[in-house]
Amino acid sequence: MAVSDHVNLEQFMEGVKKRNPGQPEFVQAVHEVAQDIFEFMEDKVEYHEAQILRRIAEPDRIISFRVCWEDDNHNVRVQRGWRVQNNNAIGPYKGGIRFHPSVTESVLKFLAFEQTFKNSLTGLPMGGGKGGANFNPKGKSDAEVMRFCQSFMTELYRHIGPDTDVPAGDIGVGGREIGYMFGQYKRITNRWEGVLTGKGQEYGGSQMRPEATGYGAVYFLQNMMKHKGMDVEGHTAVISGSGNVATHAAEKITQLGGKVLTLSDSGGFIHDPDGIDQEKIDWVKHLKTVKRGRISEYADEFKGATFHEGRPWNVTADLALPCATQNELNEDEAKALVSNGCKGVSEGANMPTTLEGVKVFHDAKLMYGPGKAANAGGVAVSGLEMSQNSERISWNHERLGEMLTDLMKGIHEKCTEYGDQGDGYVDYVKGANIAGFKKVADAMLAFGVV
């Protein structure tokens, strides 16, 4: 059968939409990948015949479960939890857990789908998965968060394992939550094993894991800039978010001689024209992980800084790092960045830019590093945490720092291999999609029809 006899992109996407009603985030993520993969597959009949993309876009399984817990006032509360095990062709399912009221099956399916390509890009043996719950940790006591995490793990434990599925953190899941979940897994199974990553340093967590996503996103940016003969030093940056990824991205930009102008949360953003230096970043980390406060408090603490509702993309800067959540940078905001002279965008978050926004960046030939490449440093160091746990050893901070730097350089190289447009412009979306797809697809071909 000739390639032309197989479904085209439009027919494929019609099918995806029909099979996944009411799941816009998932359809968006598949569309973004399918555009490039259909072009890549143009002359590759074997991928069409084996229906590889269709199979990757159909999760291996989705586990959905009730999570009951009791709040401090003894009210019984009911949440919904999920684990989406998207694809384990090249390694155990791997990907974070998100606790946020906006979590739906569509959001977790998009994240698990993206994770499959991201994990492939790292070069490490990890498949793609994602989980979470529509639980809002904001305003909850530590005891409430603990009870929720324990209840969540009481169901999840039977579906995961160090060679099966290894979750980690994501929005709303940091060191505290991983600790509670790991404790419960260990208690139920009576096994100490590397079933979660992002663990505390005292109990098997890897050095460099907390920093890895944010630092990695800046390393990716640095690689893109170097490719163009530029450097981070002396450049200004707008960053969204104020959690794990945003604060570590800000830290690395600052260390490299750049100046960070903004951080944000779901309430709005702060603009500090003097720059958010290390001391201020440490203050934000404490605010967010210990005091669990709001970013607006920054403007009360540091003079010269102002708080604004909305998102930071209209602030003029050379670089932009969206590090909060999906679809937080739309077409108009992308246009504002471009017309204000922004030169490079590196996504710490997953799918933060809408499809229309991405088109604006491409049309402007801006350096644009999509999340599945730019934020892969986090899961890459998670992969190294798995290796250390299996070997029962721990590597030092310096060694892991070097490994992270090399991994991000390797991802950048893979993206340029498939994304170089021949005129000096690198389409990093295309590069990441094709390089990520190829490894998974070839593994799936080897397995036959399963």
Give phi and psi for 296, each to the nearest 5.
Answer: -55, -25
- Smaller CB distance to ligand 2IT: residue 195 or 276? 195
Output the six-digit token pair for 211: 């920093």
* Among ligand 2IT, ligand NDP, none, partner that 131 touches (CB below 5 to 8 angstroms by kind): none
- Smaller CB distance to ligand 2IT: residue 258 or 352? 352
| Of the candidates 430, 435, 440, 445, the residue with the CA atom closest to the CA atom of residue 34 | 430
3-class secondary-structure state, position 192? coil
3-class secondary-structure state, position 111? helix
Sign of CA dihedral 167, 172, 174, 180: negative
- Smaller CB distance to ligand NDP: residue 139 or 424? 139
Measured from the Cβ of residue 25, the count of other Cβ atoms closer than 10 Å reads: 23
* Among ligand 2IT, ligand NDP, none, partner that 197 touches (CB below 5 to 8 angstroms by kind): ligand 2IT
* Among ligand 2IT, ligand NDP, none, partner that 253 touches (CB below 5 to 8 angstroms by kind): none
User: Side by side, which strands form the sheet with 344-346?
Assistant: 306-308, 268-271, 259-265, 236-239, 319-321, 344-346, 367-369
Residue 339 CB partners (closer than 8 Å, separation 6+): none
* Among ligand 2IT, ligand NDP, none, partner that 349 touches (CB below 5 to 8 angstroms by kind): ligand NDP
Nearest-approach distance from CB 98 to ligand 2IT, in angstroms:
8
Nearest-approach distance from CB 95 to ligand 2IT, in angstroms:
5
Max CA distance (Å), the chain:
69
- Smaller CB distance to ligand NDP: residue 23 or 242? 242
- Smaller CB distance to ligand 2IT: residue 124 or 305? 124
- Give the footprint of ligand 2IT on this chain (CB under 6 A): 94-96, 115, 118, 168, 170, 197, 350, 378-379, 382
- Give the footprint of ligand NDP on this chain (CB under 6 A): 100, 102, 169-172, 174, 213, 241-246, 265-267, 323-325, 328, 348-350, 375, 378
Give phi and psi for 9, each to the nearest 5.
Answer: -55, -45
3-class secondary-structure state, position 62? strand
- Alpha-carbon distance 308 to 162, whole Å? 44
Nearest-approach distance from CB 167 to ligand 2IT, in angstroms:
7
Nearest-approach distance from CB 94 to ligand NDP, in angstroms:
11
Residue 343 is among the residues annotated as catalytic for this protein:
no
Output the six-digit token pair for 192: 């100490």
* Among ligand NDP, ligand 2IT, none, partner that 257 touches (CB below 5 to 8 angstroms by kind): none
Type and span of the H or E element at 438: helix 428-447
Specify the pairing of strand 306-308 against strand 319-321. unpaired
Find the catalytic residue in 94, 109, 118, 130: 130
Q: Which residue is nearest to ligand NDP (CB)?
A: 243
- Smaller CB distance to ligand NDP: residue 23 or 40? 23
* Among ligand NDP, ligand 2IT, none, partner that 244 touches (CB below 5 to 8 angstroms by kind): ligand NDP
Cite the active site residues. 130
